[in-house]
Amino acid sequence: MAQNANTPSHVGIIMDGNGRWATGRSLPRLAGHKKGAEVLEGIIEHADDIGVKYLSVYAFSTENWKRASDEVSGLMSLFEYYLKNKLEKFKPKHGRLRFAGRRDRFSASLLEAIENFERETRDETGIQIILCVDYGGRQELVDAVKNIVSSGVAPSDIDEAVISRSLYLPDVPDPDLIIRTSGELRMSNFWLWKSAYSELYFTDTLWPDFDNAALDEAVAAYATRDRRKGGV
């Protein structure tokens, strides 16, 4: 029977268009990222209100290090600022904050802030907010393969379950719905493995203009999808 639940349990968002939003206003690109972070605060709260259980957001990809150094350092400072000063606003009551991505390229203070919040919210049972930072789907698979090889599993024992449990957050279910803003029609290395049967939703709205109504629209579109997942 086709699944057609009204509310997706896991929503992933590729938050695109911050740069264009800023340049369209003759502002530096970082102003777009700052506005994007404010928008994310509201979207987290709304996602929680409408019953989303996992919200994963693509905040910095493994490829984003190639950007101008002032944009990269500005983004890193923005992440750290939020984790250190704004988390009460950023994280709903009982929300749990998690991270997906590489951890070996952050400054010591950013890594510490990340680890603090993972630890402090570890036992929370509300919505899980997953920040994908220095995340790349291909890198996630490379890291999974390294884990599998170093664990000594025999090749004949490797199956989908072995790979799934070697990924960054094995207990986080596959995204039901992935939203990408700003009119780009690509996945850009987001949740490569977990997105196999995700429903995709694209909107021309730039991320800094995305609001509660835009999330409601995406969720309403999801509710009309016939999720056969390869079945009939």
Instruction: Enumerate binding residues for ligand FPP (CB under 6 A).
Output: 15-20, 33, 36-37, 40, 59, 64, 78-79, 82, 131, 182, 207
Which 3 state secondary structure label does DSSP give 57?
strand
Pairing of strands 54-61, 128-135: parallel
Q: What is the chain's Cα-based Rg?
A: 18
Q: Which is nearer to ligand FPP, 40 or 219 (CB)?
A: 40
Q: Which is nearer to ligand FPP, 182 or 203 (CB)?
A: 182
C-beta separation of 131 from 99 below 8 A: yes
- Catalytic-residue membership of 16: yes
Q: Which two tokens stand for residue 219?
A: 């969720």
Smallest distance, ligand FPP to C-beta of residue 107, A: 15
Smallest distance, ligand FPP to C-beta of residue 71, A: 8
Pick the closest to residue 205 from 194, 213, 197 (CA basis).
213
Catalytic hit among 4, 6, 49, 64: 64
Tokens 């930072």 map to which residue?
133
Smallest distance, ligand FPP to C-beta of residue 81, A: 8
Q: Which two tokens stand for residue 87?
A: 């988390």
Taking the CB of residue 140, how many other CB atoms lie within 10 A of it?
A: 24
- Catalytic-residue membership of 6: no
Cα-Cα-Cα-Cα dihedral of 38, 41, 42, 44, to 10°?
150
Taking the CB of residue 65, how many other CB atoms lie within 10 A of it?
A: 11
Q: Which is nearer to ligand FPP, 76 or 219 (CB)?
A: 76
Smallest distance, ligand FPP to C-beta of residue 59, A: 4
Catalytic hit among 4, 16, 49, 157: 16
Q: Which two tokens stand for residue 85?
A: 């000063």
Q: Which is nearer to ligand FPP, 16 or 176 (CB)?
A: 16
**Catalytic annotation, residues:** 16, 64
